[in-house]
Amino acid sequence: MSLIVWTTVGILLLAAVLGLVRVMTARDDASVAAVSDLVYFCAVGIFLMIGMASGSVVLLDVASLSALVGILATVSLARILTRGQR
Amino acid sequence: MNVVLLVVVGVLCIGGALFVLTSALAMLRARDGLSRINVLSGATGMGIPWMVTGVYVHHVWTHGFDVVDLIKLLVAIAGFIIMSSVASNALGRAAYRSGAPLDPARSTPTEPNDLA
């Protein structure tokens, strides 16, 4: 079980680092917004794996809440991109 | 039985992480902001739901079946899919309206969109 958890965490960390490399080389704001979404989902996945390894009981609550609330960050980034206009 | 459950959890978790990694690699290869917003849906539509399903299988394996947990799983999967679709739509529209540069090497340039 710990092999599964750490393999998954390693792949997700690699994905987050690749996204951050993309942020350092990107020139437009839309790429930065997309990469920030990717890093958010990597963080959710890493939390799920660490919680599964430690036997936490709130995992499914956290997953459903992050699914329902995660749209707020993306929509606010979209508002920032258009400088507050719709 | 334990080995089968272990393989199922492993395939779901590591496969979901590989979907996220594929999305990150595609972000490195895409050349404009709209394409990067587009390739993000691989991570949100397949990767994270697979990992949540793997966590649910492990949860049922250790704590037993409960209807409330199944409802939480379904809410999480539906939320990820619907949320990623709506959020990507809003983000892509905002990126288009903010005048983000499009990839000049496309064979067919993106036409102006009436809905944006």
Angle between helices B67-97 and B48-63 (to 10 degrees): 170
Number of H-type helices and E-type strands within chain B:
5, 0
What per-residue confidence (pLDDT) applies to B105? Answer: 66
The amino acid at residue B85 is S
Chain A residues with CB-CB distance to B98 below 8 A: 29-30, 81-83
pLDDT digits (tens, 9 = 90+) for A6-32: 999 999 999 999 888 888 887 778 888
Confidence of residue B107 (pLDDT cuts 50, 70, 90): low
pLDDT digits (tens, 9 = 90+) for B59-104: 998 888 889 999 999 999 999 999 888 888 888 888 887 777 777 6
* ipTM for the predicted complex: 0.88
Chain B residues with CB-CB distance to A83 below 8 A: 98
